[in-house]
Structure 1
């Protein structure tokens, strides 16, 4: 076949967690899958590198091994600091989810998933930048994409190729260029987070808890969370990577008053100025620059399927508004999308194919819609630092309440459990409209 016209069953744009997950499932089902990735592995991505049990479950479902010798570091639960309180809450013991989380750097994580997709039969084409969709003029449906090879600087390095398929999966991240080209702009009624992070050589690199700072002080707080510095917006984290470094960063909601005017790197510096010196969160021990990224939350781009184009992961705004977690939901949405696409490709006529593809947005809305609606309410409250301060000082000293909070924040509740905290979280999600 001439390279100018590559045929496939599915074209996946982007080889992040969502794209590689969708590609793995579809290729393993016998579909011809081409994955187009503008970068080359390993590549840098801004992330906290922490995986909750929800993300670990997705890795387990797709059969990706996570041995410690390959850099997968297990954690026991969430340590929360704020208001002078330090509380550790283990991950809940649930039948549906594993009892541990993981830490794995995104550069290694994304490559592991991409290689897993290739091992399942996907055709991965790195340094291939998509320039636009191919649209059937008669139906208005996407029937492929145009793409060209690029060098390590993103510059054109070859001639444009057309990749044709009856279904295209957009997994091209927060920018959503493919979705934008089809008229799908982000929704202004959904929250947007900003995350900045860097790495430090630190003795805390082997911490087996994910640490979350719910109250940030301006250069005056130590380990116990006490201090006199001014209250900063957002939340912070310290995740041990296990390789001699810690991933340290902070997240801020763009709904915070004046958030768009904030210097996020300066906020990180001011917060870290108050850390105990023995942790070595200092410029001298910093590894790499401070990097930032947007976190598209709570379905901030919809519909998740239209005219042959399926949106998964960040391109569809799948980030959890409660905790900024994106990987678990990228993989979950991709798994659901793969199921719908696989069914659609078996359809013998156009109406049946469309019905199958439309089942994907319905499925993701049923799974996450009510929860994300609750998350938007949560975001509107904690966007105010004083509200967060009061909630932290009231909640953290109450372990029973914080057990419920962790289940809500990490979306880890068992609908079949008789545990009161599970029943409360599940009831809240069911009562919230799945919009």
Structure 2
């Protein structure tokens, strides 16, 4: 399969416009969610809930995000990203407000879990990467995806200390109300990603139905391997992001250490995701992914075996930051490289569903096993084993475009 000839390519948005608006949207959407671990202690203390209650809601959030991802991706591919982003922005704001007002575990799961999870599916990477794939030249696609991922990382670095300050000075409920207002800022930015009408015929070259694209992807071995690797990514990063503040508190660390660690993850993730995007233009993406997963496991092993001090926490956070979301540009670039961009948001959503199933297990098992054993040790070592597994299964991924039968013009017309 080859990219369509420029003469048959529909009008594109400016690459700078796509990157600016897409990066700012991801900065907001990912930045807000990255600090949710800071709310675990104040909410469970005030509401009298167990850590598992909070963790289960965040686990449902990740699962809802993943399940809704293919649907929002399909809608964005079919009708354009604008409508999906507008609805997602409103749902995100509403979910944050209801999260602050929830007084039962069930209501908290509905707001912080289901509603925010579905909102995130329409305001984060899958939708934005679909626009990038359709509007950025293939020679710059991996780099552009790295830029967008780096923006999400910067949002994490920027928003964590802001959220910590809001919680400490305004209270955790008012902090959520203000973040709800911030989520509405996605709406005006979404108009910068308003593409020409997609519809049928908007994509030239090989045409597929949605059902055919799904069957093709799920029947392709490399797609299955990418999904398995992304499962591990979700398990590791969401477990660490949500439970590390409480883990550090249990070991006598001041709250500022956890805030600094999460901020460092976001800061160094800017470097890591951008570097992964750049390297994806030069190196085999499967090798980049295998190295990321292997290095994550090594970093966790070192972190668990050295004495726990603020310095060791900051070093671990910086190293994990480089590896945090750096899987995103090469994974999505491989999907586009294999299957093309017609259904990139939808297929990216399916891969991300696997990520979110891993996220669900990582965050829920963290709370469940902590309540059962009084320790996070078992989950840390599960994360190590999974990282080694993911490193090996990414090596056989084939990055070349999938072979498809050539349709003549008369056949396509028929």
**Fold shared by both chains (TM-score > 0.5):** no
Using structure 1 for the length normalisation, give the TM-score: 0.26
Q: Which has the higher contact order (CA 8 A, sep 6+)?
A: 2
Structure number with greater Rg is 1
The answer to which structure has the higher strand fraction is: 1
The answer to which structure has the higher helix fraction is: 2
Using structure 2 for the length normalisation, give the TM-score: 0.27
